[in-house]
Amino acid sequence: MELLSSSKAFGGSQRVYRHDSVACACPMTFAIYLPHQIEDGPVPVLWYLSGLTCTHQNAMDKGEYRAAAAANGIAIICPDTSPRGADVPDEPDNWQFGSGAGFYLDATQEPYARNYRMESYIRDELQALVTKNFPLDMNRQGIFGHSMGGHGAITLALKNPGRYRSVSAFAPITQPSTAGWSRPAFEKYLGPNETAWRNYDSTLLIADGHRIADLLVDQGTADGFLEEGLRPQLLEIACATAGIPLQLTMREGYDHSYNFVSTFMAQHIAWHAERLVA
């Protein structure tokens, strides 16, 4: 790993690293906040997955997570949202596909299958890398995210029972297989057979029998993507049908921006801490 930056914050350390990824076949960058409690031993870890157009830096600069992470003694990892580079296939004029829009899946269609393997990258490769290099208690992991990252967090938790003790989301894309801004990406990454899409759709994974202990979701009522892309009511129906406890809070007047995410960030981290720290 190459250390790109490091600075002290709330007694801990905010760092950014770059490494050569086998899963994505290109260099990848991630941010990690290590609270001061690492001086006493391994700490729980919380993965934060960002949304469309973002990198590791959006949450690091605008998410306002460090004070709450330090107060609760939790490390926060912010991966990038896609592979990047001159040799990585992309659609530069399409913000809903390619660079910044990996959708946390493993592509099966050419020319994307070689690089766009974000599920394997986060689940396997980056997991192994941080386990080896940082004092983290990998038996106490949680995961959360925003928008496309909320979709990724929920699907990863559903498909990896026992790995993540807690999962939450800000304005997640709840049914990406039918949402207008994700359906075209699914077809390009995964092909026209929609049966393969079910593996990356929270509502359909739940319908197919995947389960999590509980789920926290915040959604702004003034979110411009609410009806077309996010549709939390579909997740609410899926969880109710499956008996999954869902705490869905509609936040009056909040939009889709990091002003919304940062407002409720500390509450989400405290919710995770109840499941990770005790």
Catalytic residue set: 147, 223, 256
User: What are the phi and psi torsion angles at 200 (to 5°)?
Assistant: -130, 30
Q: Look up residue 98 and give its DSSP letter.
A: B
Handedness of CA 21, 54, 51, 85 (dihedral sign): negative
Token pair recorded at residue 129: 């890398």
Left, alpha or beta for 266 (phi > 0: left; psi -120 to 50: alpha)?
alpha
Task: Count the alpha carbons within 13 Å of 81 in the hemisphere toward its beta carbon.
Answer: 28
Angle at 276 (CA atoms; ends 21, 47), nearest 5 degrees: 25
Distances (CA, A) of 206 to 100, 165, 212, 215: 26, 17, 9, 12
d(CA 209, CA 215): 16
Distance, CA of 151 to CA of 104 (rounded, Å)? 8
